[in-house]
């Protein structure tokens, strides 16, 4: 994915290619490990429902993420797909009564994902940012700060989400 995409000849997505290259460069995003960056990338790609993008990311970096990580990325994408819709709609409604209601949605995998808490939360933040759920973004940033994440880790997570989202758009409009 990364090298093949970066080397493609399209001019309209030149900035996206440069940003992707910077994200993959450990010096540019040293606040997160390579595994964390790739976990975010795969989680966002699953959230975007782009199996080819997932395959491309994993093809270039298959030795970094294990099956538990890949399953975790699927958990993040599916749980956030549900939560982002519910909480975004509830928040947009500006109805205090509705917002006080329990969502009554099963979310056991938010606890039983088997991943490092930081890794899970950064991926949830990234997917929620792409989905545009203000309530979820705020909640995940608060959770990250509670477990000791710093603003650079949070900002890098958002950069990665933005670039993978843009890369997905560039891939789709090339076809």
Catalytic residue numbers read 133, 136
Distance (Å, whole) CA 48 – CA 56: 14
Cα(115)–Cα(26) distance, integer angstroms = 22
End-to-end CA, the chain: 15
Closest residue by Cα to residue 40 from 145, 124, 143: 124
At 37, phi and psi to the nearest 5? -60, -45
Residue from 110, 115, 125 nearest 157 by CA:
125
Using CA atoms, how far apart are residues 90 and 69, in angstroms rounded to an integer?
Answer: 31
Alpha-carbon distances of 62 from 39, 57, 138, 141, rounded to whole Å: 11, 8, 32, 28
The candidate with the shortest Cα–Cα distance to 161, out of 83, 78, 90, 77, is 77
């Amino acid at each position: 994915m990364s090298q093949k995409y970066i080397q493609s000849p399209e001019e309209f997505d030149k900035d996206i290619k440069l940003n992707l290259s910077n994200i993959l460069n450990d010096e540019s995003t040293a606040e997160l490990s390579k595994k964390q960056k790739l976990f975010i990338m795969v989680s966002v790609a699953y959230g975007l429902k782009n199996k080819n993008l997932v395959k491309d990311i994993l093809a270039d970096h298959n030795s970094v993420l294990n099956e538990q990580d890949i399953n975790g990325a699927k958990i993040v994408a599916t749980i956030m797909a549900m939560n982002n819709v519910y909480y975004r709609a509830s928040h947009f409604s500006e109805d205090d009564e509705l917002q006080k209601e329990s969502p009554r949605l099963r979310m056991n995998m938010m606890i039983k994902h088997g991943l490092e808490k930081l890794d899970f939360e950064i991926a949830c933040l990234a997917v929620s940012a792409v989905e545009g759920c203000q309530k979820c973004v705020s909640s995940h940033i608060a959770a990250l700060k509670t477990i000791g994440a710093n603003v650079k880790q949070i900002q890098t997570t958002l950069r990665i989400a933005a670039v993978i989202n843009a890369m997905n758009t560039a891939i789709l409009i090339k076809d």
